[in-house]
Chain A
Amino acid sequence: MAGFTPARPMPDRLPAAGQTKLHARGTRPGEKRAMTALWNTIAVAFGLVMAFPIYWMILTTVKSNHDLLAQDPTFWPTHFDLSSYRTVFSDPDFLNSMRSTAIITIGSVIAGLVVGFLAAVAVARFRFRGRNPFIVAILVVQMVPLLTIAIPLFIVLNKAGLYDQYLGVILAYLVFTIPYVVWTLRSFIVNIPVELDEAAMVDGCTRWGAFFRIILPLSMPGLVTTGVYAWIQAWNEFVLANTLLSSNGKRTSMVWLSFYSASPTHGADYGSQMAGALLVSLPVIILFVIFQRRVASGLTAGAVKG
């Protein structure tokens, strides 16, 4: 990808593109329109199939138990019945689990951002002995399967008295938040012109002052993007939460959902299972919708743009 500059659709190029189209054989306007219609149909069909599980989850939550037990499921709601939501909210552990997840997620995102930002500044602004090993280590750390460290983390936190404590899970989540924050923020900080740091320092700012007065505010977009993604990862995490927390009131919402939908009372009650599934995913879905462009580019940026 190094050879050429990435082309952007520039308006002044359009006439040229039109010219080449004239030369291309077998693409009459009518045929082209038919092809586009075909591709549109395929794309819409694909979108509908992909959307169906989510639609079905939401539809199930507003169906009555009677409808759910019917032999032939209907593909649209006949009448809205919110009793599934009532069942979920009447489970005392549900709201507790949402609170636990919020505490753990906020704690690990903030800790990850603070620690990760400092390391990202070091990697982006300094050349020091051990820099490249540090970068490679960050990459390697991201790839260690969480399952393989679940048992030793359980043993270590147990010994430290942090088993079944929020703090223990927050610390455990730093395993994946710190590397991600360092790796992503690094590219944001590199793009902040170093001349700004210099100018601040010429004006009498200390080097540390430049970090906090220049780099920190300018990397806010990066901090938001990485924060959102770290939030999503922490909110959705299941394996570590399942192994490091044991008391009912402290379980995260994912663990709550897994226990709820396997319990004898609700194991076959798909209305409330789907209501629970929807409610525990809502905080993440809302974040995704608000930050969708940023999150999508943040996730693919590292790979496409380097």
Chain B
Amino acid sequence: MSAIQSDRREQGVERLDGPFPAPKGRRRGVTVQGNYIPYVLILPAVVTLIGVLGYPLVRVIMLAFQNVNSYLRLAVPSLDKWIGFQGFGRVLSDSQFWSVVERSFLFTVEVVTISIALGLGFALVLNRVSPWAKIFVSTVMMFVWAVPALVTGTVFRWLFAGIGGVVDYIFYLFGGSGMRNHDWFANANEGLYVVVAIAVVWGALPFLVLGLNAAMTQVPRELVEAAKVDGANPAQQFRHVILPIIRPFLLLCTSLSFIWDFQVFAQIWALRQNSPEPGYWTVGVYLYEEGFTSSHYSTSSVISIAMILLMLVVLIAYIRQVVKIGGQG
């Protein structure tokens, strides 16, 4: 499965004409002839990705240094002007941008922390339950996993609806009479950090619980038993036996969650019926509103670049982790 292993196998291909006593020169000729094959194979992928990703990314950078802030400018390119870092200056001096960034980070940290904690906790629980309970939970997880993000937003808008919403009713049943017809979305902070956060955590849990549980099944039972014999309590068993083994996957999950949650869009979009109020604007929603609702293509491109830069540390950590795990035996 690893790069190292595949290298060994490729050498196997090179040795292919071993049984045939071919003259050295000819053999080298064959490999030289065959050298073009991998490049032909990756060519379609490379061309497509340059077309649909590479060029658009170049356009983002170009747009960020231009003044294409209306549909007219887009339609009549002769009006475009290069304005250097002016666009960046305007965005970075805008207090709304900084409040959006702050909101995105707070939201991401909240959601990542909660979902990783719950994911780890229930992955551990799944390790200790009877088989039927594990099958029940896994089945529920598969269904939740299958629900599209946009549908999640739509469903949670109904669950938390002020009129006829079941969450208000459950609160009311448990004695919170003031919660009847409570509007969860009137206060954007409550709407974002409670309702949107719950919706995102709900959607993220299946991957985390099932993935972390799968990672935990790789922990040899003998090791846990040995720790128990040596008198380790459950917390110590987790800290010193299970955690070191699942750490690579846990780091991966955490960085992936960060990357996904930082760009949250569809859930907020559906929860606010396609027009999120400024209090709900995370970076993703903000750049969409600027780009498509207001046709500020250049401003939106500046925000896009800022978004990638803000995620860069986690992105690099994630890719390094994947390469590291991929390179192991």
Contacts and interface: CB of A to CB of B under 8 A. Distances in A.
Interface string A33-61: 00110011011101100110110110010
A98 interface: no
Given A125-B13, A232-B146, A270-B158, A175 B49 contact: yes
A144 B45 CA distance: 16
Contacts of A191: 1
B147 A306 contact: no
Interface string A272-306: 01100100110011011100100011011011111
Contact of B149 (A145, A171, A238): A238
B81 to A, nearest CB: 17
A2 B229 CA distance: 25
Interface in B119-164: 122, 125-126, 128-130, 133-134, 136-137, 140-152, 154-159, 161, 164
A39 to B, nearest CB: 4
Contacts of B210: 296, 300
Contacts of A267: 273
B225 A156 contact: no
Given A267-B273, A273-B154, A274-B158, A151 B297 contact: yes
B59 A285 contact: no
A80 interface: no
- Chain B interface bracket (under 10, 10 to 19, 20 to 34, 35 or more): 35 or more
A235 B318 CA distance: 26
A175 B53 contact: yes
A1 B150 contact: no
B12 interface: yes
Contact of B44 (A70, A115, A254): A115
A50 B140 contact: yes
A305 B1 contact: yes
Contacts of B265: 147, 238-239
- Chain A interface bracket (under 10, 10 to 19, 20 to 34, 35 or more): 35 or more
A89 B319 CA distance: 45
Contacts of A259: 274
A238 B202 contact: no
A109 to B, nearest CB: 14
B319 A194 contact: no
Contacts of A208: 37
Among all A-B residue pairs, the 8 with the closest Cβ atoms? A122-B41, A152-B56, A7-B220, A152-B59, A148-B304, A236-B148, A288-B146, A126-B38
30 contacts: A50-B144, A50-B202, A118-B45, A119-B45, A122-B39, A122-B42, A125-B6, A130-B39, A147-B265, A148-B287, A152-B56, A172-B52, A190-B6, A194-B13, A239-B265, A254-B150, A258-B150, A258-B274, A259-B274, A267-B273, A281-B151, A285-B143, A288-B146, A299-B211, A300-B214, A300-B215, A303-B252, A304-B249, A306-B326, A306-B328
